[in-house]
């Protein structure tokens, strides 16, 4: 078994036939000039020690050295042994609030985009943990089941918006219940990370949090928005046309309710963190994960590939070293062989 670490460098091997062609063209040019200078037999007599064989030999050595350097850049690897690789971590479900209040821009660029940034930053710090995503407003909606494919998770995350759930509100209870249903292995360490402004959180969220605790699921809540609050912009073609108003025509001001988020997190012996600083949130989650027991998901038999570039590089340098000692004059033993009928 073998693999090529940097196969893109194989294209450099195309330089070798080009250099050989240039050598032949130069040889042809030299012969042509020699004919212009005088009789070829006379030229040979004037340079009796000049070898026809040596320049070709030097070229072959240089081309082999160049090929060795290029193959060293490619870094071929050979599978020498089989190892068992274990994959372990924590199952994490991100429950992201996608209600209209998350469009408020009291946290730049807005609460929902900030929530996406937080989730993305947390994912960037994960190793072998598995993740799932739930979106919720007036009801909860499964966005992505538990997976170890982070690139797919980020793609689904970026596609989330306030239109994926038709009913409005902040149904934290539904979000927690749906999140808990994502965990199919009772032995796995579990964590739900809920990101919301906590507004209009509804009844029963405390009871839903207690059910998480009974199932051994920890909960971290992340607050986005400000307690001062802000209006909910109504946009068309990316431009703000107006702000959301209540039945009396007053502009609705949506606020962050951290106490509600703290209460449900405390119920599971989890924690609450304010989401203004993305790095602080990701560090908080990382610290929580470090203190959780990791569960083995799977183990695989994998071939361990050993790099072999050093052999090709060593051979190339040896050839370059030898090439220095090859002069273009004839050597005694080559002269005796008379390979090119150089003797009269």
Burial zone of 306 (CB within 10 Å; 0-12 exposed, 13-18 middle, 19+ buried): exposed
| pLDDT of the residue at 59 | 87
Taking the C-alpha atoms of residue 102 and residue 194, their distance in angstroms, rounded to an integer, is 13
Contacts of 5 (CB under 8 A, 6+ apart): 74, 75, 76, 77, 307
Q: Which residue shows structure tokens 């340079």?
A: 47
Predicted confidence (pLDDT) at residue 271 exceeds the cutoff of 60: yes
pLDDT, mean of residues 136-156? 91
The secondary structure of 142-177 as a DSSP string is EEEEEES-HHHHHHHHHT--TTSS-S-S--HHHHHH
Contacts of 172 (CB under 8 A, 6+ apart): 136, 194, 196, 198, 201, 202, 205, 208, 264
**118, containing H or E segment:** helix 111-125
Average pLDDT, the chain: 83
| pLDDT of the residue at 321 | 87
Q: Which residue shows structure tokens 């797919």?
A: 152
Report the range out of 56-60, 100-104, 118-122 with the highest average pLDDT: 118-122
Q: Give the number of residues written for the chain.
A: 344
Least confident of 19-23, 179-183, 266-270: 266-270
Q: Where are the beta strands (DSSP E) in 99-258?
A: 130-136, 140-147, 190-196, 217-223, 230-231, 233-236, 239-243, 253-254
* Higher-scoring residue by pLDDT: 204, 68: 68
| pLDDT of the residue at 152 | 94
Joined together, the tokens standing for residue 33 give 């000039």
Domains of the chain, by residue range, sit at 2-75+308-337, 86-299
Report the range out of 14-28, 49-63, 69-83, 226-240 with the highest average pLDDT: 14-28
Least confident of 213-222, 239-248, 268-277, 280-289: 239-248
* Higher-scoring residue by pLDDT: 169, 342: 169
**Contact, 262 vs 221, CB < 8 A?**
yes
* CATH class belonging to 86-299: alpha beta
| pLDDT of the residue at 258 | 92
Least confident of 45-59, 73-87, 280-294: 45-59
**Contact, 286 vs 218, CB < 8 A?**
no
Joined together, the tokens standing for residue 74 give 């490619």
Give 224-263 pLDDT, tens digit per residue: 999 999 998 888 777 878 888 888 888 889 999 999 899 8
Least confident of 94-98, 162-166, 328-332: 328-332
- The band of 18, judged by pLDDT with boundaries at 50, 70 and 90, is very high
CA gyration radius, the chain: 36
**Contact, 227 vs 256, CB < 8 A?**
yes
Predicted confidence (pLDDT) at residue 87 exceeds the cutoff of 70: no
């Amino acid at each position: 078994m073998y693999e090529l670490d940097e196969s893109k460098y194989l294209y450099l091997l195309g330089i070798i036939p080009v250099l050989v062609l240039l050598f032949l063209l130069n040889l042809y040019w030299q012969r042509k000039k020699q004919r212009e200078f005088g009789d070829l037999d006379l030229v040979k007599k004037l340079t009796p020690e000049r070898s026809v064989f040596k320049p070709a030999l030097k070229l072959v050595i240089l081309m082999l050295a160049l090929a060795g350097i290029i193959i060293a850049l490619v870094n071929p690897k050979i599978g020498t042994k089989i190892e068992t690789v274990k994959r372990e971590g924590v199952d994490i479900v991100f429950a992201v609030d996608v209600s209209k209040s998350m469009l408020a821009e009291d946290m730049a660029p807005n609460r929902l985009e900030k929530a996406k940034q937080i989730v993305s930053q947390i994912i960037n710090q994960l190793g072998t943990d598995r993740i799932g995503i739930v979106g919720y407003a007036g009801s909860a909606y499964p966005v992505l089941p538990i997976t170890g494919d982070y690139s797919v998770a980020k793609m689904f995350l970026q596609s989330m918006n306030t239109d994926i759930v038709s009913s409005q509100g902040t149904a934290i209870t539904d979000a927690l219940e749906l999140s808990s249903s994502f965990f199919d292995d009772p032995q796995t360490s579990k964590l739900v990370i809920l990101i919301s402004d906590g507004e209009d959180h509804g009844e029963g969220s405390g009871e839903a949090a207690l059910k998480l605790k009974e199932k051994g699921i920890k909960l971290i809540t992340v607050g986005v928005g400000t307690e001062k609050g802000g209006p909910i912009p109504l946009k068309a073609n990316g431009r703000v046309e107006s702000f959301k108003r209540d039945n009396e025509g007053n502009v609705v001001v949506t606020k962050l309710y951290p106490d509600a988020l703290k209460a449900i997190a405390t119920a599971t012996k989890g924690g609450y963190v304010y989401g203004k600083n993305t790095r602080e949130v990701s560090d908080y989650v990382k610290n929580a994960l470090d203190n959780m027991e990791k569960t083995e998901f799977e183990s695989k038999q994998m071939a361990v590939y050993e790099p072999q570039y050093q052999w090709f590089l060593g051979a190339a340098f040896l050839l370059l070293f030898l090439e220095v000692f090859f002069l273009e004059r004839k050597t005694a033993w080559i002269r005796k062989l008379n390979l090119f009928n150089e003797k009269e």
